[in-house]
Amino acid sequence: MTECCPLCATQSTAFFHRDRHREYLRCEQCKLVFVPPKDHVSSAAELAYYLQHENQVSDPGYRRFLSRLADPLCERLAPCSVGLDFGCGPGPALAAMLTEAGHSLALYDYYFFNEPAALQVNYDFITASEVVEHLHRPKDVLAMLWDRLQPDAWFGVMTRLVLSKEAFAQWHYIRDPTHVCFFSRETWIWWADCRHATVEFLGADVILLKKGPAKTESRKPV
Ligand SMILES: [Zn+2]
């Protein structure tokens, strides 16, 4: 049976890798590597796993890790921007860092800050740090987030990128049972192209996408 790609919805997906626990497919169109739904863990197991791996807001090592997204984003943001930290987890350290830099942050996390009102307003920027690899429905969730961005707004993502089939088989990142979507550079370039967005890759795992300017109404001929 062919499995539909959870990011671009094409049926053109093929076997990519199998390990002791699950199977991985790759989309021919957007190159997303994904775990088919039959191999997803339950919500209860997912939550238990997150609670075991809780990061502290004040942990200097974790802050250093997040600064690789926070610093380049702050360089690009106007002072006092308004943003959303999507999938902030139980200890929203990235939001704390961006707030200290003078920006205002709303929080949303399916398990820990389930405030749907935060997804009803538009933002100057949205961050998703170590989030997209967990998404069961990346097409819908990423489209929803993109819709919440103003013109010229930034979307800052942290996720490890797929490099090659050989590296994938040895990769610690796939051993986390809650990681079900693995993006590559090609995937982000495809996704950005579909939205006429610009995309920048910083280091191994930071992706910055910028929404286009506001559409100006063409002047009517006199
Ligand atoms: Zn796809």
Cα of 8 vs centre of ligand 1, distance in Å, is: 4
Cα of 34 vs centre of ligand 1, distance in Å, is: 9
Cα of 49 vs centre of ligand 1, distance in Å, is: 27
pLDDT (tens digit per residue) in 79-93: 999 999 999 998 899
Fold annotation for 13-53+60-210: Rossmann fold (3.40.50)
Cα of 5 vs centre of ligand 1, distance in Å, is: 5
Cα of 50 vs centre of ligand 1, distance in Å, is: 27
Give residues with Cβ within 8 angstroms of 182, minimum separation 6: 24, 32, 33, 34, 133, 160, 161, 162, 168, 173, 174
- What's this model's pTM, rounded to 2 decimal places? 0.94
DSSP string over 148-199: TEEEEEEEEEE-PPP--HHHHHT-GGGGSTT--EE--HHHHHHHHHHTT-EE
Cα of 87 vs centre of ligand 1, distance in Å, is: 22
Cα of 191 vs centre of ligand 1, distance in Å, is: 9
pLDDT (tens digit per residue) in 176-217: 999 999 999 999 999 999 999 999 999 999 999 999 998 776
Q: Where along the chain do its domains lie? A: 13-53+60-210
